[in-house]
């Protein structure tokens, strides 16, 4: 049961990081305006780091799910 909680937590957190990271990346690239973050290289880097972390969590959750299915 604990493994399922971990998988769900990784998926939810991974999707949240991916979403915030994508928005902040677009703002850092000056493609999404309306914020103090628009056009800022700092937010571009922060956004990219969050996107990578989100993808890593989603991959990890997939690996845990795959391991659980095997046995």
Beta-carbon contacts of residue 35 (< 8 Å; ≥ 6 apart): 27
- Domain map (residue ranges) of the chain: 2-70
pLDDT range class, residue 71, cuts 50, 70, 90: low
Provide the 8-state DSSP code for 30: T
Task: Report the pLDDT value the prediction gives residue 65, as an integer from 0 to 100.
Answer: 86
Q: How many whole angstroms separate alpha carbon 2 and alpha carbon 34? A: 42
Per the structure block, which two tokens stand in for 50? 């969050």
pLDDT range class, residue 1, cuts 50, 70, 90: low
Task: Report the pLDDT value the prediction gives residue 31, as an integer from 0 to 100.
Answer: 92
The answer to whether the beta carbons of residues 19 and 25 sit under 8 Å apart is no
pLDDT in tens, 19-38: 999 999 999 999 988 888 89
Q: How many whole angstroms separate alpha carbon 47 and alpha carbon 52? A: 9
pLDDT range class, residue 8, cuts 50, 70, 90: very high
């Amino acid at each position: 049961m604990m493994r399922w909680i971990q998988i769900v937590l990784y998926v939810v957190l991974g999707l949240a990081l991916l979403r915030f990271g994508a928005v902040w990346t677009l703002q850092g690239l000056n493609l999404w305006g309306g914020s103090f973050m628009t056009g800022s290289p700092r937010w571009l880097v922060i956004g990219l780091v969050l996107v990578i972390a989100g993808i890593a969590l989603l991959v990890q959750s997939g690996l845990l799910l795959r391991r659980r299915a095997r046995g």
